[in-house]
């Protein structure tokens, strides 16, 4: 079992606020992240798959195929987007990094063939990242 990880990059805007709470409570809980006019980040996303190398290629997955999946399923959906406004899956779900990383798993997992999806890691700043292993 070998693990292979590939990185992609996207930029986005979001706002953290619970619509059923008052503005005061949102600022108290989410601080500057509740700014009504949005803020944004450069996100790095790492997808890790695991499997046995194919004897003909030495690959557990062709990295070019994994790149295509990541660009189509993650980057096209999130890059230069406002997560709250432009992404259907976050219409009724807070786009916290914890929730975004789980959604990325759901987008990617049906497309991984011949090996298994192991982990999605989402880096929000150099000081914060989240990981999700599918359960």
Question: Which residues of this chain interact with a copy of itself, rule CB under 8 A?
Answer: 1-9, 11-14, 16, 18, 21, 29-33, 35, 37-42, 53, 56-60, 62-64, 79-82, 85-86, 93-99, 101-102, 125-133, 135
Q: Token pair of 86, please?
A: 């432009």
DSSP string for residues in 61-122:
S-HHHHHHHHIIIIIHHHTTEEHHHH-GGGSSS---HHHHHHHHHHHHGGG--SSEEEEEEE
3-state secondary structure of 2: strand
47 contacts 114 by C-beta, under 8 angstroms: no
Tell me the closest approach of the beta carbon of residue 30 to a copy of itself, in angstroms: 8
Tell me the closest approach of the beta carbon of residue 8 to a copy of itself, in angstroms: 8
Active site residue 39: no
Active site residue 119: no
Nearer to a copy of itself, 3 or 110 (CB): 3
Nearer to a copy of itself, 30 or 111 (CB): 30
Q: For residue 44, report the phi and psi dihedrals to the nearest 5 degrees.
A: -105, 130
Question: Active-site residue among 23, 28, 39, 80?
Answer: 80
Tell me the closest approach of the beta carbon of residue 25 to a copy of itself, in angstroms: 10
Bridge partners, residue 49, by sequence: 4, 117
- Catalytic residues, by residue number, are 33, 80, 124
């Amino acid at each position: 079992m070998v693990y292979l990880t590939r990185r992609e990059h996207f930029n986005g805007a979001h706002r953290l606020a619970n619509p059923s709470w008052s503005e005061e409570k949102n600022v108290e809980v989410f601080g500057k992240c509740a700014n009504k006019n949005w803020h944004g980040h450069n996100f790095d996303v790492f997808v890790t798959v695991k499997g046995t190398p194919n004897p003909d290629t030495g690959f557990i997955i062709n990295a070019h195929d994994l790149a295509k999946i990541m660009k189509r399923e993650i980057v096209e959906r999130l890059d230069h987007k406002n997560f709250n406004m432009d992404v259907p899956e976050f219409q009724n779900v807070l786009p916290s990094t914890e929730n975004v990383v789980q959604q990325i798993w759901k987008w990617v997992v049906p497309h991984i063939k011949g090996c298994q999806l192991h982990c999605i890691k989402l880096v929000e700043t150099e000081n914060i990242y989240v990981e999700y292993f599918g359960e």
